[in-house]
Amino acid sequence: MKWWRTTKRNADLERELQSDLELEEEEQRERGLSSEEARRAALRAFGNPTLIREQTRATWSWSWLESLVSDLKYGFRGMSRNAGSTIFAILIVGLGIGAASTVFSVVNALLLRPLPFRDPGQLVWIANGDCCSTQVEHFADLREQNQSFSDLAGWSGGYSSGNEELTRSGEPERITSVAVTGNFFPLLGVDPVVGRSFTREESEGKYAAPTAMLMSNNFWRRRFDSDPSIIGRKLTLNNQPVSVIGVLPESFDFASIFAPGTPIDVFIPWPLMDKNKPNGNTMAVVGRLKPGVTVENAQAEFTVLGIQLDSQHPERNGIKPKLAPLEKHVSGEVRPALVVLMCAVGVVMLIVCANLSHLQLARMGTRQKEMAIRAALGAGRLRLLRQVLTESVTLSLCGAALGLLLAVAGTRGLAHLSAFNLPLLASVQVDGSTLAFTLLAAVASGVLFGLAPALQVPTYKLREGLQAAGRESSGSGPHGWFRDGLVVSQFALACVLLVGAALLIQSFLRVLDVNLGFQPERAAALRIDPSFPISNAAQANSFIDDVLQRARAVPGVSAAGISDILPLDGDRSWQIGAKGQVYDKNNHPEGFIRVVTDGYFEALRIALKSGREFSPSDRETSEPVVMINESLARTLWPGQDAVGKLMTQDGGRRVIGVVADVHHGGPEREGGSEMYIPMRQTGDYSAMRLVVRTTLPPDSLATGIRVALRPIDPNLPVTEFQTLQGLVDKVVSPRRFLVMLLSGFAGFALLLASLGIYALISYSVHQRTKEIGIRMALGANSGLVLRGVLATTLRLALAGVVLGTLGSFALSKWIESLLFGTTPANPAVFSGVDLLLCAVALLAAYIPARRASRIEPLQALRTE
Amino acid sequence: MTKPPQQQRTGLLQGTLDMLILRTLLYGPAHGHDIGKHIQRTTNDFLQMQHGSLYPALHRLEERGWVVSKWEMAPDRNREFKYYRLTEAGRKQLLVEESQWKQMAEAVARVMWPAAEES
C-alpha cells in the first residue's frame, strides 16, 4: 500500500460508512420511526464513527505512519508553545550528543575501523623485548627461517624529522624520509596511486644513497601540486639525484599509524645487506601471517627462533621477539584512555537524560488536563504513551541535528591537531557509522528520558485530571521520590565524572612536574647538516668548530652544542659493557646512544654529577672518551666511581664524566641507560642538530643563527626552529587530550547537575507555595523556610555525593593504569569533589530557596 | 494495535468474527451492513454486531487478500454499496478456520460434558 493511496482509501471508507449508516437509518424509518429518531437509532447502533474510522485505519499497513505524522505535528505544536524549555532541552541534548558523537568518531577511527591495509587482521607487529627495535641481521635470519609468516618487512626506526635536504627544485627544504625494506608496501597491500613500488635492484643499493623514492600523497600535493609528471623525474636529496618512482595513496598515512606526530614526506629503500648501515637495534618489523596461523602460534615459533639466534650469534645484540596484532599495537596505548572517554560520555548522556526526564515530567504535570481530555475523547492509553514518546524522541532528534553539527566541527578540529601525538587522529571524521551512532544515541536517549513521563500517562483519570487543572496538589506527590531520584542520580554521576577528571588532572600536573633531567624551557634545536659532502674526520671537526663558534657568538645564545638525536625525539640502542667484564647473553646491559659535542649538556642544562664534560680538545687524535648517565654508571660499576673506567665501545673508551638521567622517552618513562659519544671522535651519526639555550624567545633567534651560519653553508635550508618545550608538549599531548576532554565533560556534568537541582527545588517551592504560605501565616519566619529548603537540597546532594563517592571508589581501579603520581583513592581528590558538589548544590538551590522565604502568606493562600 | 474498548456482548473469541464473515460471504457478495445484519439475524440477535469491530475486520480480511471489495448498485435500493466478495484464498482460509473451530469446540465439549462422551 502506497501512502498516496491512503487518501483515496480514506474517502472510500468514509463513503462506505456513510452508505451503511444511511441504510441503517432507512431501515429504522421503514420500521416506523420518525426521521430524527431513526437517525439517532442508527448512530446508536453504529457506535462512535470516529473510533470505527480510527480502528479500521489501524488495520491498514500505513496507519502507523499516519498517526506518527499526527503525533509529530502535535509534538511540534507543543514544542513551539513551550519554546524556552524546548530550546533548553535541544541545547542540552545537542551538547551531549555532540560530545558523544565526537568521541565515537575518535573511537571509531582508532579502535573500530580496520587499518587501511589489505587484510589488516593478518598483520603482526614484531617487537624485540619490551623496549627495542631489532638488529638487521636478526631480521634477515628470522625472515629466512620462520614458517608462520608469508613475509616480514620493516623500516628504519632511526629516522627523524627533517632528515633529508631537498635542493635544486625550488626553495631548499628539509623533508622527512624513512627507509623501508623493498617488500614493505607489497606486504601491507598498499599500491602507489601513480607509478610503482621499489624494484629489487633499487632496494639492494647502497645505504644512504638511494636511487629511487616514493612520495607520500600529502607531500606530493603540497610540494608538487599533485602533478603526475613528477614520476621519473630526479630530485636532489642530500646532494644526490634520486628518481621519483611513485606516489602513495592518500589513505596511507605512515606517520599517523606507526609514528604519530612526525609526518613522513618520502620513502627510500633500505639496503639491508650494505655494510655501511648503522649498527645496533635499528629496525621496526611487521609481518603478514600465513592464512590459518594465529599470533600465538607465531609467537611460539619466534620465541624458539630467538633463543636459537641468541646462542648462534653471541656477537649480536639480544633478540626476544614479542608479537602482537598490528591493530593492537597501533591503538594499544590509547585504548584505556578511549575506554575512559567513552564511559565518561555515556555518563554525561545519562545525566542529560535524567535532567530532561525531570523537565518532561514537569511539562507533563501541566498537561494533565490536556491528556485527560484526549483520553475522554477516546484516545487509547497506548496512543497517548506513543504521543509522549514521539515528542521526546523528536526533541532528542532535534538535539541530535545540533549534536551532529558539533561533532563535524569537533572532528574537523581534532583531525587537524597534528600537535597531538595520537595515532590515526587525521582520519577522524564523521562518517556513516558516526551518523548511525548519532541516530541511535538520539532515539535511545529520547526514549530514556521520555519513558518516565510516558509511563505516567495511564494514571491520568478524567475527573482528577480535569479537577487538578494542571497542578499537582502537593510537592511530595506520587512522583516526588522519582524526581528526587533523578536529582540524586545526576549528582552521583557528576561525582563519578568529577573524581575521574580530578584524578587525571592531578596526574597531568604531576607529569608536567617531572624532572626530565634537562630543562626544555628556552632551549631550541635546528638541523644544520652540511649540504656539501664531508670526506674525513678533520673536515667534519672543523665544520663543528666553526658552527659552534659562530652560534655562540649570536646575541642571546648562552650555550650551544650539537647532537644527533634530541631527547623525546627518537632513540638508538646498543649493547654496552665495561671492559674486562663478561655479561650473561640474555642479560647484557643495553643503553641509548647519543653523539654530542661540548656545550650540549650546558645547552640542555643536563647536570654533571662527577668528572668533566667533553671539551673541544676531545678530537679524533686524542684518547677515545665517553660520558654516561647515572643509571648506566650504577649498572656497570655498582657502588664504584665510574670516572676513569674503560668501556668496550670502539675498542675501549674512557669514562670522563657522569651526568644526570634524561627521560628521553617522556616524563612517564624511566630514562634507562645512556651513553654519550663525542661527535668529534666518531662518524656514526645520521644528523646534526644545533642545540642552543637562549635568553630570548627561540623564534626571534632563528634568523640570527641562520645569518650567522650562512657563510659556512650558503644552502642551509629554511626549516623551523624546534623548541624542546614543543617536544615535551608533544609527548604529553595524549594525556593533555584526555584531560581536556574529560574536564570538559565533567564541567558539563556539573552544570547539568546544578541545573537539575535548581529545577527540582524551583518546582517544589512552586508546588508548595500554599503550604509555605500557611506555615508562614502560622509563624514560621523566612529564615526557617530558607533553611528548610536548603536542608532538603543538601540532603539530596549528599545522597548523590555519597552514592557517587562509593561508585567512583569502585570504578577508580579502572583508571589506575592512566594515573601518574597519584592513587585511585586519593582522599584529597574525593573530599574536594564532594565539597564542590555540595557547594554547587546549595548555590543552585539558593535562588528558589530565597524565593520561598519571600512568599507573602496572604498572596500564597489566594493563589488557589 | 489498538484494542476495541467494547467487546462483543458474548465475548466473541478472537478470530471468530473473521470466520463468521467469511462464512456469510459464502452465500455471495454482501456489503458491511448486510453482513452484520445477517449474523445478527441468524443467531436470533444473540450476536449483536458492533460496527466498531465489523469494519476493522472487513478491512483486515481485505488486506490479507481473503476478500475483495467493489462498489456496486444494490438491487433494491438503487444506490451503490461497497460489496465484499470471497476470494479463492478466502475460501481456503474459511476451511482452515472451520476445522480449527470444530477441533476447539470438540475439545471444549469433551472437558465440559465428559459423561455424554462415554454413553
Amino acid identity, position A414: L
Q: Is the dihedral of CA A393, A398, A401, A407 positive or negative?
A: negative
Distance CA A671, CA A343 (A): 33
Query: How distant is the Cα of A1 from the closest Cα of chain B, in angstroms?
Result: 9
In a domain, B11, yes or no: no
Cβ distance of B2 and A47 shorter than 8 Å: no
| Contacts of A136 by beta carbon, 8 Å cutoff, 6+ apart | A272, A277, A282, A283
Among A22, A56, A381, the residue to mutate for chain B (most B Cβ within 10 A): A56
Question: Considering only CB atoms, which chain B residues are within 8 Å of A15?
Answer: 71, 82
Average pLDDT over residues A523-549: 85
Average pLDDT over residues A21-34: 83
Cβ within 8 Å of B, A 747-786: none
Phi, psi of A760 (to 5 degrees): -65, -45
Interchain CB contact of A383 with B (< 8 Å): yes
Question: Which CATH number fits the domain that encloses residue B28?
Answer: 1.10.10.10
Burial class (CB in 10 A: 0-12, 13-18, 19+), A312: exposed
pLDDT at B41: 84
pLDDT at A457: 62
Distance CA A626, CA A614 (A): 8
Residue A57 has pLDDT above 70, yes or no: yes
Residue A848 has pLDDT above 80, yes or no: yes
- Residue A477, Cα to own-chain centre: how many angstroms? 45
In a domain, B49, yes or no: yes
Cβ distance of A24 and B33 shorter than 8 Å: yes
pLDDT at B3: 37
In eight-state DSSP terms, residue A171 is S
pLDDT at A85: 80
Cβ distance of B63 and A56 shorter than 8 Å: no
Distance CA A395, CA A391 (A): 6
pLDDT at A473: 42
Question: Considering only CB atoms, which chain A residues are within 8 Å of B59?
Answer: 13, 56, 59-60
Residue A421 has pLDDT above 70, yes or no: no
User: What ipTM did this prediction achieve?
Assistant: 0.76
Cβ distance of B32 and A20 shorter than 8 Å: yes
Query: How distant is the Cα of A34 from the closest Cα of chain B, in angstroms?
Result: 20
CB atoms within 10 A of CB A619: 15
Question: Where residue A237 falls among pLDDT bands split at 50, 70, 90?
Answer: confident
Cβ within 8 Å of B, A 2-21: 12-13, 15-17, 19-20
Q: Pairing between strand A177-180 and A722-723?
A: unpaired
Enter the C-alpha cell of residue A689: 642538530
> Counting every residue, how long is chain A?
864
Distance CA B106, CA A665 (A): 86
Cβ distance of A55 and B56 shorter than 8 Å: yes
Enter the C-alpha cell of residue A723: 623548541
Smallest Cβ–Cβ distance between A56 and the set B6, B56, B77 belongs to: B56
Pairwise pLDDT comparison (A254 vs A9), residue with the higher score: A254
| Contacts of B86 by beta carbon, 8 Å cutoff, 6+ apart | B22, B25, B26, B66, B67, B94
- Crossing angle (nearest 10°) for helices A432-456 and A335-366: 40
Question: Considering only CB atoms, which chain B residues are within 8 Å of A26?
Answer: 77
Cβ distance of A55 and B55 shorter than 8 Å: yes
pTM, full prediction: 0.71
Residue A288 has pLDDT above 90, yes or no: yes
In a domain, B26, yes or no: yes
In a domain, B5, yes or no: no
Enter the C-alpha cell of residue B5: 474498548
CA angle A106, A109, A112 (to 5 degrees): 110
Average pLDDT over residues A574-585: 80
pLDDT at A849: 87
In eight-state DSSP terms, residue A628 is E
Question: Buried b vs exposed e over A342-355: b needs ≥16 C-beta within 10 Å?
Answer: bbbbebbbbbbbbb
Enter the C-alpha cell of residue A630: 647515572
pLDDT at A214: 92
Quote the number of domains for chain B.
1
State which H helix or E strand residue A337 sits in. helix A335-366
pLDDT at A784: 85
Question: Considering only CB atoms, which chain A residues are within 8 Å of B68?
Answer: none
Residue A523 has pLDDT above 60, yes or no: yes
Query: How distant is the Cα of B98 from the closest Cα of chain A, in angstroms?
Result: 23
Q: How many CB pairs under 8 A join A and B?
A: 69
Nearest by Cα to A262 from A125, A420, A115: A420
In a domain, B2, yes or no: no
End-to-end CA distance of chain B: 46
Place of cell 597531538: A420
Question: Where residue A528 falls among pLDDT bands split at 50, 70, 90?
Answer: confident
Question: Where residue A585 falls among pLDDT bands split at 50, 70, 90?
Answer: low
Secondary structure string (H, E, C) spanning A287-322: EEECCCCCHHHHHHHHHHHHHHHHHHCCCCCCCCEE
Cβ distance of B82 and A15 shorter than 8 Å: yes
Enter the C-alpha cell of residue A480: 516526588
Place of cell 581501579: A813
Contact yes or no for A679/A511 (Cβ under 8 A) = no
Question: Where residue B7 falls among pLDDT bands split at 50, 70, 90?
Answer: very low
Interchain CB contact of A48 with B (< 8 Å): yes
Distance CA A677, CA A629 (A): 12
In a domain, B97, yes or no: yes
Contact yes or no for A266/A214 (Cβ under 8 A) = yes
Place of cell 457478495: B29
- pLDDT, tens only, A663-678: 887 788 777 889 999 9
Among B47, B58, B59, the residue to mutate for chain A (most A Cβ within 10 A): B59
In eight-state DSSP terms, residue A812 is G
Cβ distance of B80 and A13 shorter than 8 Å: no
Contact yes or no for A403/A438 (Cβ under 8 A) = yes
Burial class (CB in 10 A: 0-12, 13-18, 19+), A689: buried
Q: B67 in helix, strand or coil?
A: strand
Burial class (CB in 10 A: 0-12, 13-18, 19+), A319: buried
Q: A164 in helix, strand or coil?
A: strand
- Residue A213, Cα to own-chain centre: how many angstroms? 33
Q: Which of A201-205, A672-676, A850-854, B56-60 has the highest mean pLDDT?
A: A672-676
Interchain CB contact of B118 with A (< 8 Å): no
pLDDT at A588: 79
| Contacts of A631 by beta carbon, 8 Å cutoff, 6+ apart | A661, A671, A672, A673, A674
| Contacts of A851 by beta carbon, 8 Å cutoff, 6+ apart | A762, A765
In a domain, B10, yes or no: no
In chain A, what percentage of residues exceed pLDDT 90?
22
Cβ distance of A59 and B6 shorter than 8 Å: no
Pairwise pLDDT comparison (A806 vs A209), residue with the higher score: A806
- pLDDT, tens only, A739-761: 888 898 999 999 988 888 888 88
Contact yes or no for A528/A689 (Cβ under 8 A) = yes
Residue A238 has pLDDT above 60, yes or no: yes
- pLDDT, tens only, A615-664: 988 888 889 999 999 999 998 898 888 899 888 888 889 999 999 999 88
The Cβ-side half-sphere exposure at A310, using a 13 Å CA radius, reads 16
How much is the mean pLDDT over chain A? 83
Cβ distance of B52 and A20 shorter than 8 Å: no
C-alpha separations of A170 from A167, A227, A236, A503, A609 in Å: 7, 15, 11, 51, 48
Q: Find the largest Cα–Cα distance for chain A.
A: 136
Tell me which residue range forms the domain holding B100.
16-118
In a domain, B3, yes or no: no
